[in-house]
Amino acid sequence: MILKEDLWKNMPNMVINKSWIELGLGRLYAIWLREFKVFLREKSRLIASTFTPLLWLFVIGEGFGSTTDFFGTMDFAADSYIGYQQFIFPGIICMSVIFTSVFFGSYIIWDRKFDFLKSVMVAPVSRTTIFLGKAFGGMTTSLIQAAILLVVGFVIGIHYTPLSMVFIIIIILLLSFTLTSLGLTLGSHMESLEGFQLIVSFVVFPLYFLSGALFPLNNLPTWLSILTTLDPVTYGVGALREVMLGITGMNSFALNISVLLLSAAVLGTVGVLSFRRMKAV
Amino acid sequence: MIIIKNLFKQYDNVTVLNDINIEVFDNEVFGLLGPNGAGKTTLIHILATLIKPTAGTATVNGYDIIKNPSEVRSSIGIVFQAPSSDDMLTGYENLKLHSLLYAVPKELREKRISEVLELVGLTNRKDDQVKKYSGGMRRRLEIARGLLHKPTVIFLDEPTLGLDPSSREVMWKYINRLVKDEKITLILTTHYMEEADFLCDRIGIIDKGTIIALDSPTQLKEQLGGEVIEMEFANKHVDKENIDRVLKQCNFVRKVELEAKNGNVLIYVDDASHNLPTILKILDKANNTEVESVELRSPTLNDVFLKFAQRHITKKQGQDEDEDDSEGGFMEKYAQYGNK
Ligand SMILES: Nc1ncnc2c1ncn2[C@@H]1O[C@H](COP(=O)(O)OP(=O)(O)OP(=O)(O)O)[C@@H](O)[C@H]1O
Ligand SMILES: [Mg+2]
């Protein structure tokens, strides 16, 4: 190590005449950037979370799709030329968003485990900023993952228009903000890594299976339709299906979007509150 | 400046910090010493606003840690006991992240980052991911990060843990210079007594959440009663009282003690190197006091630490004899081990 004579001499007074909003944005950017870089570097995570949805799309999609007798009688698509694979495509996008966002959020358990979180919390950064930085990181990650799948959509015959692309992106971002907030909230209450497995079993899979990603919601038994109504992802799937395939499901587009907005607001608030309460050490 | 007032911290029913009162002056290096689990890290975490105290409060740089935590956080730098950098990022990226979090002005960011990198000798490894660093390199990165934003109060929780001797010495020199030149106030914990002795203006010894001694290293050593001559006698069962009586005529002898373990006699004296011949002469004339070997020691901070820790335990054991908790037992062993 080398001693540098003038190390401390050249640093002017650190009192900064910046507005709090400017400072907040800088810090938000810092946290977001960190998340983004880590995401780009964890190649295995990227590959794994792209592969699983593709498996569903092609194996389940083609597999069930080929038994047309069975699904042909089902009234899941008004237009006869929409196959099962296309039908579940919006659901598979949502699946990717669920996995990416919830996992991303609950990764905060690792941040705590390796003490990185402590080093952020001892900096003059508000908990809300940390939360938002992470949530934006989760949204970015989810959007990139979804974009890969959207490209695959061309292959299976999904048509996009500029307007539908805008809606698709908005829906994905809303859903991923909601689910990243959920993951962050759960993660902020957990002290050990064991909790992570619970999140997978009791949050991630139910959110996916109850969303109507794989089946139409019209003829469900009451108990199941109550559960699907409670799942925020249901509205994401519904909205995407309408934008991508022109199928109006149980709920109108306006209702879908409203519920998505509402759940983003609720879970975002809960997340911020959880972060404020979270123990640093 | 740091003022700690009647600070308590309890976890469930365990009191981890028990009525801590310390005033750390501007531009002072204050050392916190104490056995494992004494509460050093907890105290630092409280001062850094990461944990809330159960009772009492403290001010750091004039800001109350409970009422103005974000002002406190802006003005402190901290090096944690365990590494806390992001493994996936490079050393440079970690520093960049923190310069943004601490709002280091844009014009200075790059310059400042390269300065601290150079200081800790990581310039040529700055673009490697931290997971590829050695333990000592991680440590150095943490130190660089703690200094990055020019804090006025710095907490170092075992800063040189895992550093090689030469890096440690460079770090000591740097810390010394930092405090002198830049009027930094520094609180550090360490298990290396020579480090505390070299760096600290004052030292607080903490055990089981209580400050059991607080003074300058010189004063603490002085309290042990000057220099020590350890003598081994030909007669293994030498009579301590006898030696005490014989040496009473010398006013430079402060006290005589029997070393319990090996039967040697400890003679506490002023100016040992000059007075040793006199003592030997006297003992030579006396009966049954044939000296076999002599060792001359100046008390080190190590002796101070062991002495205080030991005394604390003895006192505690006297108070509640049947409550012989395992931790106390360990401390005692620790103390004896160190004495040898
Ligand atoms: N979250 C916690 N819950 C319960 N007890 C805790 C918690 N954190 C620390 N302690 C206890 O507080 C005591 C003090 O711990 P602390 O980490 O402050 O010790 P220390 O002096 O830094 O020790 P070391 O030299 O080993 O670093 C210990 O007995 C520890 O078990
Ligand atoms: Mg400690």
Encode pLDDT of A4-42 as tens digits. Answer: 444 444 444 444 456 777 788 999 999 999 999 999 998
pLDDT digits (tens, 9 = 90+) for B143-189: 899 989 889 999 999 988 888 898 888 888 888 888 887 788 999 99
User: To test the ligand 1 pocket, which listed residue (B11, B18, B52) has its Cβ within 8 A of the most ligand atoms?
Assistant: B11
The two tokens of residue A12 are: 């002017």
Highest mean pLDDT among B166-180, B188-202, B271-285: B188-202
pTM of the model: 0.84
- B100 and A38 in contact by Cβ < 8 A? no
Single-letter residue type at B1: M
The two tokens of residue A109 are: 């358990």
CA angle B147, B148, B153 (to 5 degrees): 40
pLDDT of residue A73 exceeding 90: no
| Strands of the B14-24 sheet, one edge to the other | B14-24, B2-11, B55-60, B63-64
A159 touches chain B (CB under 8 A): no
pLDDT at B312: 60
pLDDT at A18: 64
CA of A281 to the centre of ligand 2 (A): 13
The DSSP-derived string for B255-311 is: EEEE-TTT--EEEEESSHHHHHHHHHHHHHHSTT--EEEEEEEPPPHHHHHHHHHHH
φ, ψ for residue B211, nearest 5 deg: -75, 120
Whole-angstrom distance, CA of residue A63 vs CA of residue A116 = 45
What residue numbers bound the domain in which A162 lies? 42-277
Residue A7 in domain = no
Residue A36 in domain = no
Residue A152 in domain = yes
Question: Closest partner residue to A122 among B50, B93, B104, by Cβ?
Answer: B50
pLDDT at A137: 96
Residue A22 in domain = no
pLDDT of residue B326 exceeding 60: no
Give the H/E segment covering residue B222. helix B217-223
Find out whether A260 and A252 touch, Cβ atoms under 8 Å.
no
Q: Which long-range contacts (CB under 8 A, 24 or more apart) does B327-336 make?
A: B327/B37, B327/B208, B331/B35, B331/B207, B334/B35, B334/B309, B335/B306, B335/B309, B335/B310, B336/B261
φ, ψ for residue A18, nearest 5 deg: -110, 150
Residue A69 in domain = yes
Domains in chain B: boundaries: 2-216, 226-298
pLDDT at A263: 97
pLDDT at A173: 97
In Å, how far are A180, A212, A237, A260, A267 from A230, measured between CA atoms?
17, 12, 13, 12, 14
Write out chain B residues lying below 8 Å of A2, CB-based: 118-119, 121
Top CATH class, B2-216: alpha beta
Find out whether B256 and B267 touch, Cβ atoms under 8 Å.
yes
Closest atom of ligand 1 to CA, residue B45: 18
Find out whether A217 and A231 touch, Cβ atoms under 8 Å.
no
- Any residues with Cβ below 6 Å from ligand 1, and which? B 11, 16, 34, 36-42, 81
pLDDT of residue B293 exceeding 70: yes
CA of B11 to the centre of ligand 1 (A): 10
**Domains held by chain A: number:** 1
- Fold (CATH) for B226-298: Alpha-Beta Plaits (3.30.70)
Find out whether A89 and A57 touch, Cβ atoms under 8 Å.
yes
Find out whether B80 and A115 touch, Cβ atoms under 8 Å.
yes
